[in-house]
Structure 1
């Protein structure tokens, strides 16, 4: 199922076991039509491990991604581990029959390098660019970027809030407890 939500809290647990970090995100569910808060709240625990599909997506990216109707035979590219990987859409098929309309991993794809078919979600797939692949940094500039919306930020404005957050991150990253976050 697809839910629209806003983050109301984040907590992180550390462990010597795998996964080493577990993030618990508390979400306030929103009415998908009005984006008004509902009375429902959920918590989602996750960790960033290779091979686990993204399932919490910024609404802007989600909206852009589901507008594009990919068809069998369409070529695409997907950004994985600092590299664009080309592939072809094989077909669209629900990942879970209980959620026929969910876009989560709804595309069965084949990589151009001949690897087995696998599933991707619309937010993982981008139109092909005819230019040759370059460095990771230039590849990242081709990724969609967040476009601020005024009412998503405190009344004092996005610039002041961004500066406050960056200063907070700079302070946190110097603390011993954050050593696990200094590199991916």
Structure 2
């Protein structure tokens, strides 16, 4: 990395932290420059190591390509196939890349489950609200039914009283 790239990276990182490069003392700038050079070197080494790990993955395909023996030959020979698969299992049990991949898969599954649970909880809350509204509606209908039953009773009583009066009147008319 050249000096300009290092300074650009340094400026960008300081801005993210809320610092202005030009506001720093000359000594702080000098130390930060040295720190950025070292950190950039280490990050580059890490990237190289990760690339190397990815490119040296152990499996039948990669081994067959490297030793110039066909995959078919290895798959058809039980000893060769078992040997490579055994070493692959040992490698995978110690590989940080495999562990990271497995952790990412677990994280993705957990995020998916959380999203499903949130969706379920929202749906449940919506259903609870709907049930509450329906209960209020039922209470309102019961009150209305009670009112109508009372009104019906009152009207039925009035009809009976009217019919009674009518009957009495008609009896009086018959007597006259």
TM-score (norm 1): 0.15
| Relative contact order higher in (CA < 8 Å, ≥ 6 apart) | 1
Task: Considering fraction of residues, name the structure with more helix.
Answer: 2
Which TM-score applies when normalising by structure 2?
0.16
